[in-house]
A and B are shown apart, each in its own frame.
Chain A
Amino acid sequence: MSPTRPLILLPPSGKRQVTVMDFIYAQKLEEALDALRSQAGRAKVLAGGTDLMIQIARGEKQPQALIFIGQLKDDLATISLSQDGYLNIGALVTHRQICADRHIQANYPALATASASVGGWQTQSVGTLAGNICNASPAADTIPPLLVHEAVVTVQSAARGLRDVLLEHFITGRRQIAIENDEMVVGITLAPPPADTADAYLKVGRRKAMEVAIAGLAMRLTMAGPETVGELRVATCATGPVSRRASEVEALFSGQKLTNELVTQGASLLGRMIQPIDDTRASAEYRKLVIPKLFRGAVLECLAKLGIAISGLEKS
Chain B
Amino acid sequence: MKINLKVNGILEEVEVDASAVLLDVLRDKLHLTGTKEGCREGECGACTVLIDGQPVDSCLYSAAAAANAEIETVEGISANGLSAIQKAMVEEGGIQCGFCTPGIVMTLTALLRQNADPTPQDVAVALNGNICRCTGYSRIVSATLKAAKNAMAQKAGDAHA
Using a CB–CB cutoff of 8 Å, the interface residues on chain A facing chain B are: 14-15, 18-23, 25, 46, 48-50, 53-54, 56-57, 65-66, 68, 70-71, 96, 119-123, 125-126, 208-210
Distance in Å: Cβ of B26 to nearest Cβ of chain A: 14
* Alpha-carbon gap, A56 to B63, bound state (A): 14
Distance in Å: Cβ of B150 to nearest Cβ of chain A: 23
* Alpha-carbon gap, A14 to B38, bound state (A): 10
Using a CB–CB cutoff of 8 Å, the interface residues on chain B facing chain A are: 1, 17-19, 21, 24, 40-43, 45, 48, 51, 54-57, 60-62, 64-65, 67-68, 107, 110, 125-131
Please provide the 7 A-B residue pairs with the shortest distance between their CB atoms, ordered closest to farther. Answer: A120-B129, A209-B128, A23-B18, A125-B54, A20-B18, A20-B19, A122-B57
Determine if A23 and B1 form an interchain contact, defined as CB atoms under 8 angstroms apart. yes
Determine if B56 and A122 form an interchain contact, defined as CB atoms under 8 angstroms apart. yes
* Alpha-carbon gap, A68 to B41, bound state (A): 20
Taking CB atoms, residues of chain A closer than 8 Å to B60 are 49-50, 53-54, 57
Q: Which residue of B lies closest to A55 (CB)?
A: B60
Taking CB atoms, residues of chain B closer than 8 Å to A120 are 45, 127-130
Determine if B57 and A123 form an interchain contact, defined as CB atoms under 8 angstroms apart. yes
Taking CB atoms, residues of chain B closer than 8 Å to A46 are 62, 65
Distance in Å: Cβ of A115 to nearest Cβ of chain B: 13
Determine if B18 and A126 form an interchain contact, defined as CB atoms under 8 angstroms apart. no
> What would 20 A/B residue contacts be, using CB atoms closer than 8 Å?
A15-B24, A18-B17, A21-B18, A25-B64, A46-B62, A50-B42, A54-B60, A66-B18, A66-B19, A66-B64, A120-B129, A121-B107, A121-B125, A122-B42, A122-B55, A122-B56, A125-B54, A126-B54, A126-B61, A208-B128
- A46-B62, A49-B61 are known contacts. Are A122 and B48 too (CB-CB below 8 A)? yes
Distance in Å: Cβ of B124 to nearest Cβ of chain A: 8
Determine if B126 and A57 form an interchain contact, defined as CB atoms under 8 angstroms apart. no
Taking CB atoms, residues of chain A closer than 8 Å to B129 are 119-123, 209-210
Distance in Å: Cβ of B27 to nearest Cβ of chain A: 11
